[in-house]
Amino acid sequence: MRVLTGIQPSGQLHIGNYFGAIRPMLELQDRNEMYWFIANYHALTTVTDPERLRRQTWDVALDFLACGLDPSKTVFYRQSDVPEVQELAWLLSNVTPVGLLERCHSYKDKLAKGFAPHHGLFAYPVLMAADILMQQADVVPVGKDQKQHLEVTRDIAIKFNNLYGEVFRIPEPMIAESVAVVPGLDGQKMSKSYGNTLELFGDPKATRKRIMSIVTDSTPLEAPKNPDTCNVFALHKLFATPEQSADLAARYRAGGLGYGTAKKELAALFEEHFAPMRARREELAAHPDQVEAILQDGAARARKTARETLKAARRAVGLD
């Protein structure tokens, strides 16, 4: 089964990204044909600083490779290294109803947040459809709140196929039923917009300091505590074995355990989990030619499929 996913280079990754999206995607690469791209064309809709875009695109490549993306199992590439997607987006634009784009939540949300309306924001779903259809993906992993994005892609593909013949595979959504909910330092959902994140590859000392600042209640040290309502315990469970979680929960309920102790144990587990990845990232950063070679190889593999799809689409509309 061919699975495609993409990520915008929007800044430093945090553990909410990792447990909520990255790790589940990495688990798919052992049993599927994976295509994974860095969506830097899409980032242009909101990022206008070229140096920032270059840096964040590179950081995403380092981050995902360090986390375990295997380029021998996954076609990993920069979106901008597969220019065929832009021509395909134009072909798809000519069968995309304006009303379909006007109903997209992402466009309305951006306007509500104060973004100036422009064609890139409005036509974003068409480019996304081109990303998916170009690689003839069978499934696309999406969250329940992102299902509309794929529905737009399906609508565009069906309309094109009905008009010109069967060119595109109609992708299905892969919706994770059980996605890890990662609380931030303040108990809200972890998000860069809330400033409550723990970065994957941040400075270890700074990360430990942020862990020690996690908000807790004022239950005295000697009193029993409820692990099910504690931010520290919720984060601890993400890293711990079932036995470690059960042990900490028992100590919470028994009383005599301070939140400071639980935070120190969480910090130790965090470092144990991410230290090997951080070392791998540092090694990759020291050999940029190797990283670039991986991206170029991925682009070459992605362009092979892209050219075949574009050739069929051009022939269908009469551009051959």
Active site residue ranges: 110, 189, 192
Residue 170 CB neighbour total at 10 angstroms: 14
Measure CA 93 to chain center: 26
Structure tokens of 121? 């924001």
Residue corresponding to tokens 């301070």: 258
Distances in whole angstroms, Cα of residue 260 to Cα of each of 19, 196, 264: 24, 18, 6
> Is residue 298 a contact partner of residue 69, using CB atoms and an 8 Å limit?
no
> Is residue 26 a contact partner of residue 141, using CB atoms and an 8 Å limit?
no
- The one-letter amino acid code at 251 reads R
Residue 155 CB neighbour total at 10 angstroms: 17
Strand partners, 36: 5, 76
- Kindly list the strands in the beta sheet with 33-38, ordered across the sheet, starting from the edge strand earlier in the chain: 74-78, 33-38, 2-7, 139-142, 172-175
Coil, strand or helix at 162: helix
- Region for residue 190 given its phi and psi (left: phi exceeds 0; alpha: psi -120 to 50; beta: otherwise): beta
Rg of the chain (C-alpha set)? 22
Residue 178 CB neighbour total at 10 angstroms: 6
Residue 301 and residue 176: Cα distance in Å, rounded? 28
- The one-letter amino acid code at 283 reads E
